[in-house]
Amino acid sequence: MQRRILITGAGGYIGSLLARSLAERHFVVGVDIRPDPTATFPFHVMDVRDSALSELIREHGIEQVVHLAAVLEDSGDRQRDYDIDVNGTRNVLEACVTNGVRQLVVTSSGAAYGYHADNPAWLDEQDPLRGNPEFAYSDHKRQVEELLASYRQQYPQLAQLVLRPGTVLGAGTRNLITRLFEGKRLLAVAGSPSPFVFIWDQDVLGIIEKGVTEEARGCFNLAGDGALSIHELGRILGKPVIAIPAGVLRAGLWLGNKLGLTGYTPAQINFLRYRPVLSNQRLKNEFGYQPRKSSEEVFRFYLEAAGARQGS
């Protein structure tokens, strides 16, 4: 059966790969604020906050929407980032409800759980989403999820599949997280294992495609099996791990941020200290997807690809 699918953020890395793959079997429309002259499917330059999104869905008879558009890194303008993430998602939801869309797939984040000292060792999808007010990305993801939960109650006819990835890594990934691994040493907060869970970008694609094909609903963490502490990452990287007391690190971040040496602020120390560790049991047992790479395998794959790029 050919499906009629709209993808927001279709110009991004995951979005463009997903759109090209789905377009081989289905009718796909992509929207993004950036043009993509290489798109092999109908592509519209459009902001997710634009009211014209509803008209586009109606015009193309869209039945399913995959909402990937989001602010991935703090722009420095929190109101703008909030507007795109939260109000943009509201606009997508309203467009779906108005036009009788059957399913909405949304990429949220494990950051929605928040970076808290009392997080359980492994976070389950039923654990509370608390975010962190001092960390815009985490706070906005929490608010997006609250909005989604409200629409699930009001409009149960719109099936929602909400995905909460851990750290996504692929062959060419470069972002705020990977920059932590590129220095001569790794920084750690003394007394904290700072665990990481990774999910292979190709597994993310596979999960979304499965969810679209099966018109699945529910909320699922996305993570490979296992987790890696900051010290285990240091051993794999062959780099020393410098453990710094929280108070000293907080002062260093304050100074570094003032001097323009780092984008991190003292308020974000918990980003390193209390990383949420996502359980993937429901992904495997309820959604029915076994990640093809564990957290360690994903990290080693990323490193191998990064090394190949540097050597070329």
Residue pLDDT, tens place only, 98-137: 999 999 999 999 999 999 999 999 999 999 999 999 889 9
Q: Is the pLDDT of residue 294 over 60?
A: yes
Structure tokens at 227: 């987790």
Instruction: Indicate the pLDDT class of residue 263, thresholds 50, 70 and 90.
Output: low
Position 125 in a domain: yes
The pLDDT value given to residue 180: 83
The pLDDT value given to residue 307: 79
Position 123 in a domain: yes
Taken as a whole, the chain contains a residue count of: 312
Position 236 in a domain: no
Residue 108 CB burial class (10 angstroms; 0-12, 13-18, ≥19): buried
Position 259 in a domain: no
* DSSP helix, strand, coil percent of the chain (3-state; round to 5): 45, 15, 40
Separation between Cα atoms, residue 237 and residue 240, nearest integer Å: 9
Position 296 in a domain: yes
Q: Is the pLDDT of residue 311 over 70?
A: no
Please write the tens of the pLDDT for every residue from 32-71. 999 999 999 999 999 999 999 999 999 999 999 999 999 9
Q: DSSP for 214-283?
A: HT--EEEEE--SS-B-HHHHHHHHT--EEEE-HHHHHHHHHHHHHTTS-S--GGGHHHHHS---B--HHI
Q: Where are the beta strands (DSSP E) in the chain?
A: 4-8, 27-32, 43-45, 64-67, 103-107, 159-165, 167-169, 186-189, 198-200, 218-222, 241-244
Position 183 in a domain: no
If one counts the domains in the chain, the total is 1
For the chain, report the end-to-end CA distance as a whole number of angstroms: 44
Q: What's the CATH number where 67 sits?
A: 3.40.50.720
The pLDDT value given to residue 224: 98
Separation between Cα atoms, residue 73 and residue 293, nearest integer Å: 26
Position 89 in a domain: yes
Q: What is the radius of gyration, based on Cα positions, of the chain?
A: 20
For the chain, what is the mean pLDDT? 94
Please write the tens of the pLDDT for every residue from 132-167. 998 899 999 999 999 999 999 999 999 999 999 999
The pLDDT value given to residue 260: 84
- pTM of the predicted model, to two decimals? 0.94
Phi and psi torsions of 3, nearest 5°? -100, 160
In the block, tokens 């099996």 appear at: 225
Please write the tens of the pLDDT for every residue from 67-97. 999 998 878 899 999 999 999 999 999 999 9
Domain extent, residue 11, equals: 4-174+198-227+278-304
Q: Where are the beta strands (DSSP E) in 75-201?
A: 103-107, 159-165, 167-169, 186-189, 198-200
Q: Is the pLDDT of residue 269 over 90?
A: no
Q: Which has the higher per-residue pLDDT, 282 or 191?
A: 282
Please write the tens of the pLDDT for every residue from 207-261. 999 999 999 999 999 999 999 999 999 999 999 999 999 899 889 888 888 888 7
Position 271 in a domain: no
